Amino acid sequence: MRKTISILLFSLLSQGASAQHDWELKKDDDGIKVFTSNIPGSCFKAIKVECSIKATQSQLVAYLLDINRQHDWVYGNKSSTLIKKVAPNEEIFYSEVSVPWPCTNRDYIAHFTINQVSPQLMTIDSRAEPDLLPLKEGRVRVKSSVAHWEVSTINNDLLNIVYTVQFDPGGAVPAWLTNMFVTKGPWGTFQKLREGVCKCASQYAHVDFIKE
């Protein structure tokens, strides 16, 4: 059940929220901090992750935009498919989240946009677009999700990331049970993201719309 709840929570890497919250630290391990916060009017907690990654902005962006790699680092990801490349810094993709029985797999459609505010700051925003594709049999569509990343350059090859996410996984998942296990999925996702970016950094030397 813990695995199920963690998968429901953080396979939705591409969704989240940037609103102001009273954050409570839930996990601090291996340089990755996970916080949660109650949301007025919602049964589900918001999540915030803070960590550093040894990479340039270009290397991180290229890795994130490589949708076929999501299975390598997004917790519980079964598959991801690019729907549309809107612009070099903007794309829409479909993902399915693998959830152990007796729960039903979730799927979601994410609209993902990257903006470089300055050479020292980059923001990434993602929101659910649940109606872009017909519902699929045997899967529960995530209807509500919004996310925000703030990526700050510390030095030439070190980035600080603050990621916030707020969503409703849909279906019959008790909120109190979901909120008990909000740390494993986020922590595991960013641990694998950090490892993956570092491992593949040499493949991603430059992204045209990122100036460094």
Domain contains 210: no
Domain contains 38: yes
What gap in Å lies between CA 116 and CA 146, rounded to an integer? 19
Domain contains 212: no
134-147: pLDDT as tens digits: 999 999 888 888 89
CATH number at 54 reads 3.30.530.20
The number of folded domains in the chain is: 1
- Give the pLDDT band (50/70/90) at residue 164: very high
Residue 107, both tokens? 């799927």
Q: In the predicted model, is pLDDT for residue 198 greater than 90?
A: no
Average pLDDT over residues 105-129: 94
Domain contains 211: no
Average pLDDT over residues 199-209: 76
- Lowest-confidence pick of 55-59, 73-77, 81-85: 73-77
Rounded to 5°, angle at Cα 191 from 168 and 54: 125
pLDDT for the residue numbered 22: 87
Domain contains 208: no
pLDDT for the residue numbered 204: 62
Residue-range definition of the domain harbouring residue 116: 2-203
The neighbouring-strand residues paired with 210 are: none
